[in-house]
């Protein structure tokens, strides 16, 4: 049966093929060779209290349009001023209205670690992420079969990228732990159906090795949700919709961090 995720990945691969025709892997390798070292997100993620990954997110497949963001760099600057430990930039075009240009703009503006948030299923996309200034890259266990997860994880680390390895089931958490993931995210949203179940984090968090950073993703509407995730063991909470719709992202992050 075809899932929502299958449809998204089909579009991702079509757009990727176009970018590969325009920019060779050799060109990306040259850019990476000239790039400054990646920033290490772990000190921020392991700081006292709960850390926030703030997301630049215009729309989503489940909610449609979320916010008009004509200047992602300006929004990112507000996130950084509010104390975000990292900033997530959506680069998927068809369903999220994101782009690598957004990542470039944010990288030029802020000095905090950046996560490339996309459906990464090829080595080329990791080279892209590093070439455009990302310090972290999302690897979703659900979309990576067999040895793909371990292979992409290994390349990411070679490039200096810290993978955020995302899981939604016990089996996916086990796969993340098996490859030695240092940052493991539990997404309350099932990407095959787009349904959200906030209880998932509490169920799966205890399965994450104590050596890994625990990230809670999806389902945050306000500080009370961040507080719940923190009580359930989250070191970091990724927040998108609640921030882009808040009207005052800087103070919102401050409130989230104070729970």
Residues marked as catalytic: 55, 57, 117, 166, 187, 217-218
Q: How would you classify the pairing of strands 114-117 and 136-140?
A: parallel
CA–CA distance, 32 with 27 (Å, rounded to integer): 9
**Runs of H (alpha helix) within 112-233:** 123-131, 148-159, 170-178, 199-204, 223-231
For 216, phi then psi, to 5°, come to -100, 130
Q: Are 141 and 172 in contact (CB under 8 A)?
A: yes
β-strands 213-217, 114-117 pairing? unpaired
| Token pair recorded at residue 161 | 């990228």
Element (H, E) at 212: none
């Amino acid at each position: 049966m075809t899932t929502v995720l299958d449809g998204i990945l089909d579009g991702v691969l079509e757009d990727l093929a176009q970018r590969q025709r325009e920019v060779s892997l050799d060109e990306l390798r040259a850019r990476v060779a000239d790039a400054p070292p990646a920033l290490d997100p772990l000190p921020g993620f392991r700081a006292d209290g709960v850390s926030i990954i703030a997301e630049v997110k215009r729309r989503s497949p489940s909610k449609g349009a979320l916010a008009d963001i004509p200047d992602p760099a300006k929004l990112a600057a507000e996130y950084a001023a509010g104390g975000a430990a990292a900033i997530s930039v959506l680069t998927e075009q068809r369903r999220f209205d994101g782009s690598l240009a957004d990542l470039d703009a944010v990288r030029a503006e802020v000095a905090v670690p950046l996560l490339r948030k996309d459906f990464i299923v090829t080595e080329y996309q990791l080279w892209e992420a590093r070439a455009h200034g990302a310090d972290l890259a999302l690897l979703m266990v659900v979309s990576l079969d067999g040895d793909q997860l371990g292979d992409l994880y290994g390349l990411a680390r070679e490039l200096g990228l810290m993978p955020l390895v995302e899981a939604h089931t016990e089996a996916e958490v086990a796969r993340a732990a098996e490859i030695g993931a240092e940052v493991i995210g539990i997404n309350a949203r099932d990407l095959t159906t787009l349904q959200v179940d906030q209880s998932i984090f509490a169920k799966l968090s205890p399965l994450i090795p104590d050596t890994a950073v625990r990230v809670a993703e999806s389902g945050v509407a306000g500080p009370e949700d961040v507080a719940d995730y923190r009580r359930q063991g989250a070191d970091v909470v990724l927040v998108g919709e609640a921030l882009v719709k808040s009207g005052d992202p800087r103070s919102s992050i401050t409130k989230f961090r104070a729970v």
